[in-house]
Amino acid sequence: MKILKIDHLGIAVKSIDNGKNFWTDILGLPFEGTETVVEQKVTTAFFPVGESEVELLESTSPEGPIAKYLEKRGEGIQHVAFRVENIEKALSYLKEKGVLLIDEKPRKGAGGARIAFLHPKATNGVLVELCERQAGKDALPGQHDG
């Protein structure tokens, strides 16, 4: 498998509206709006930082994974996302290596990405997301990369 870079850090927040001011007003990161991923019961907001991004995650339902995370641990870094060249190849490689996967097949993430999560039991307690994005998207100025 080929990892290209850290794509983003996912941070669970109670409210994007209340939480985003630190990232925008104080750190000066651009805010490009929010996107709700219905299947994952989450609203996301991406803030580009150089080659990577910060992703704030707010739950849309008390049953969602982010709501459960907040209940257990409170706000904080919920996952680390690596961009991979080919997510199917990466998943079959990891499966072959016996790595415990949450998603054996890619699912739809924010910004049209294809994503899959690895189990924290296999990754020193870190929820790791793999994501694959359309080639060339980075090159378009001002286009959301989330």
List all residues 6 or more positions away from 119 whose beta carbon is below 8 Å from its beta carbon. Answer: 99, 100, 101, 102
CB of 79 to Zn ion, least distance (A): 6
Give the DSSP letter of residue 101.
B
- Is the Cα dihedral 146, 134, 51, 74 positive or negative? positive
Contact, 4 vs 85, CB < 8 A?
Answer: yes
Q: Which residue, 81 or 87, is less far from Zn ion as judged by CB?
A: 81
**What residue is closest to Zn ion based on CB?**
10
Q: Which residue, 94 or 131, is less far from Zn ion as judged by CB?
A: 131
CB of 21 to Zn ion, least distance (A): 21
Which residues of the chain form contacts with Zn ion (CB under 5 A)? Answer: 10, 55, 81, 129
Q: Which residue, 29 or 96, is less far from Zn ion as judged by CB?
A: 29
